Chains A and B, each alone.
Chain A
Amino acid sequence: MPTLGMRAKSEIQRPVSNIFIVLSVFVALLLNGLPWEGVWLVLRPDFVAVVMLYWCTHKPLRVGIGLSWAVGVFADVADASLFGQHALAYTLLGFGGVMLHRRLQMFDLRQQTTQVFGILALTYAAYALVHWQMSGSMVWSYFIGCLTSTLLWAPLSVTFQAMRQRRADRE
């Protein structure tokens, strides 16, 4: 889909309201917090990570490493995980997003997905590593979430792009 890549490029100059960014992160936290159980818990993508990655790659000047870290702290409180566990993982995520943002804009969705997989794998690995250090055990099925999160990238960026497009059209 080369057209999508082009559109993404031209739209980068379009303003995005802060409310939209905050709202999207809020909704992602909500989705992460739904009562997932059993197989669904294993398959659950990390919505917050994908949304943060989207903003880090599309608005790297406004949403960067610091904000990713702050959202990570919130995720730590919401998940009752150790303070800093999500924060560390999302810091790496933000760094990856900010570093790769220009490269991602050149790519189409399929190429983006491979790049995104790398960043998300790093994020998941950081989280799992901290858990392994603290408790000495590892749950390998945790990494399935990394795959589903990667699969979420394409639909999410198309949706966000469409929503931003519609806002711009209205104005």
Chain B
Amino acid sequence: MGRHFVPQQGVEGGASHIPLPTSRSPLKMDSTQSFRFFNRGPSPVARLVFFSLLSLLMLFVDARYHYLESARSALSVLVAPIQRLAAVPGSLWDQAGNLFITQNAQRRLMEENEALRQQHQNDAAQLLQLQALQLESQQFRNLNALPQRSEFATQLVEIVYSERDVFKRRVLVSKGADADVKIGQVVMDDTGIVGQVTRVYPWLSEVTLITEKDHAVPVQVLRNGLRTIVFGAGDTSQLSLRYMPVGGDIQENDILVTSGIDGIYPQGIPVAQVIKIERDAAYPFARVTCLPVAGVDKHRHLLILSSLPALPERPVEQDAATTIDKRAKIRKSK
């Protein structure tokens, strides 16, 4: 085999037989010596500096300007097969579980079936009522010529991948740019808001959960219509209301629904339930802890909401300021 005479191998073998210098820092010797005998390109230190600076530059550009998204989606085409493959054991496990349905499980299934049937009948009745109410409300709205805000289309998606990083509350779902998913679209399950699409790949998209740190959702207390904003806590699967005055009318077990302000989330979808309120007179705000209503880390199937009607554009603030200035000037001139 001529393999052993490939120059690279020889260099490697030879290099390992160069006696170690007696000094306690072999690092420096290593690089200079090998540099002299074999042309290996730049020294490790130079490479370290080059690649570190390159990484830092990429970090800066990615965090600030988001210029690298196209490169990311191009590379994701290469990575996607690995991701799909990695999801295989989990789904196989699920299927294996389905295969071995025991007697006990069968009884449980039948009970579940019964319960679901009852719930379905209940829901059907309520749905009929809802349809009647919707018709009525639409008539009222038509009368008032108010824009329709409650209509949206949905897309069913499957979670391919859950969080793989202790820092993040994100999932990857099975539809991407190919299914016309767009950044900023709202994701929910059958019970409430789950999160928002934050990144779109060719065949996948990334959903940031509402429990992600500092993720904000504009909400309303269902009981009295009080408007506030709910934030993700990050390290736990909880949410919190940060700017609720100590005297605010909020109680435990209050349901928070989306307020529809800002036009990102449709109105009236459940988000969270208040579980604990701590009022301390020393602080201006009460500490309110909530749990998400939706199974934020439970289900495998989610809905992406699309084609929400756009809000009228927000008036530019500068203009308002200049008009006030103008008015002030006019007043002064008078």
Interface residues of chain A, those whose CB is within 8 Å of chain B, are: 9, 12-13, 15, 26, 29-37, 41-42, 59, 61-62, 64-66, 68-69, 72-74, 77-85, 87-88, 91-92, 94-95, 98-99, 102-103, 105-106, 130-131, 134-135, 137, 139, 141-142, 145, 171
Contact = CB atoms under 8 A, between A and B. Distances in A.
B54 interface: yes
A77 B164 contact: no
B20 A102 contact: yes
A83 B57 CA distance: 9
Given A79-B165, A94-B51, 18 more contacts: A13-B4, A33-B164, A41-B164, A59-B12, A65-B48, A65-B51, A66-B47, A68-B51, A74-B79, A77-B72, A80-B206, A85-B59, A87-B51, A88-B59, A94-B48, A102-B16, A134-B63, A139-B235
B216 to A, nearest CB: 15
Contact of A33 (B68, B86, B199): B86
Given A61-B8, A95-B44, A102-B16, A83 B164 contact: no
A129 B82 CA distance: 28
11 contacts: A12-B13, A15-B4, A33-B161, A33-B164, A66-B47, A69-B54, A77-B75, A79-B164, A83-B71, A92-B52, A95-B47
Interface of B: 1, 3-4, 6, 8-9, 11-13, 15-16, 20, 26-27, 30, 40, 44-45, 47-48, 51-52, 54-59, 61-63, 68, 71-72, 75-76, 78-79, 82-83, 85-87, 89-90, 161-168, 170, 172, 199, 206, 213-214, 234-235
Given A41-B164, A77-B72, A84 B82 contact: no
Nearest to B87: A35
Contacts of B63: 82, 134
B46 to A, nearest CB: 9
B114 to A, nearest CB: 31
A137 B45 CA distance: 31
Nearest to B9: A15
B124 to A, nearest CB: 36
A68 to B, nearest CB: 8
B27 A99 contact: yes
Contact of A80 (B3, B15, B68, B170): B170
A131 B30 CA distance: 34
A131 B167 contact: yes
A135 B165 contact: no
Contacts of B54: 69, 84, 87
Nearest to A105: B16
Nearest to B62: A83
8 smallest beta-carbon distances between A and B, as pairs? A84-B58, A88-B55, A33-B86, A84-B59, A83-B62, A84-B55, A13-B13, A65-B47
A98 B26 CA distance: 12
